[in-house]
Amino acid sequence: MAEFVTVDGSRVGVLMGSASDWPTMEKTSQTLSKLGITHECNVISAHRAPRRLEAYCSTAEDRGLKVLICAAGGAAHLAGVAAAMTHLPILGCPMNAWSTDGLDSLLSMAQMPKGIPVGTLAVGSAGAINAAIFAAEILALSDDVVREAVLTFRSEQSAATFELPGAPGH
Ligand code: RP5
């Protein structure tokens, strides 16, 4: 069996520490798909499979990936360790895993030492979705098709937030 799953043409790699993170990170994948961004998803724990993580990170740029999104809970070291292994931008998604409503994950991910940044998003689904949008916004800097997708997404979102079903005048 291959060490990890690759998808041809992927520009974003979504990593998670456990399959138990998938119900949240599926929203990242869905949002990336909505924005037309080819991506690949893998479970690669920094603690349980450190050598696989190194193999993934050290080949990521050569395989065409531009951004990695890393989700983990508890002692959430995945994003930080990935950031130590590649200069690609790392977005971190703290999971609400099993204690402290995800505060443990948030602090583990956000409190990186200077020199090795992780762009940490909010705990749970909001962060998972925002990580996908943030990755798209990074890609949009050099890709007009993604830029159009991001602008369309934002404009549809603006229209949707104006609606108040059942309220007078709506
Ligand atoms: C972390 O521990 C994972 O990212 C997950 O959020 C949490 C629990 O993992 P499991 O014990 O469910 O595999 O490493």
Question: What confidence score (pLDDT) does residue 34 get?
Answer: 98
If one residue of 53, 78, 95 were mutated to test the ligand 1 pocket, choosing by the most ligand atoms within 8 A of its CB, it would be 95
Distance, CA 71 to ligand 1 centroid (Å)?
A: 9
Tens digit of pLDDT for each residue in 14-36?
A: 999 999 999 999 999 999 999 99
- Nearest atom of ligand 1 to the alpha carbon of 17: 4
Q: What is the pLDDT of residues 88-101, one digit of tens each?
A: 999 999 999 988 99
Q: From 21, 44, 101, give the residue whose CB has the most ligand 1 atoms within 8 Å, as the site to mutate.
A: 21
Could you identify the atom of ligand 1 that is nearest to the CA of residue 21? 6
Q: Is 20 in the pocket of ligand 1 (CB under 6 A)?
A: yes
pLDDT in tens, 111-164: 999 999 999 999 999 999 999 999 999 999 999 999 999 999 999 999 887 778
The whole-number pLDDT of residue 1 equals 55
User: Model confidence over 34-81: pLDDT tens digits?
Assistant: 999 999 999 999 999 999 999 999 999 999 999 999 999 999 999 999
Tokens of 133: 């949008």
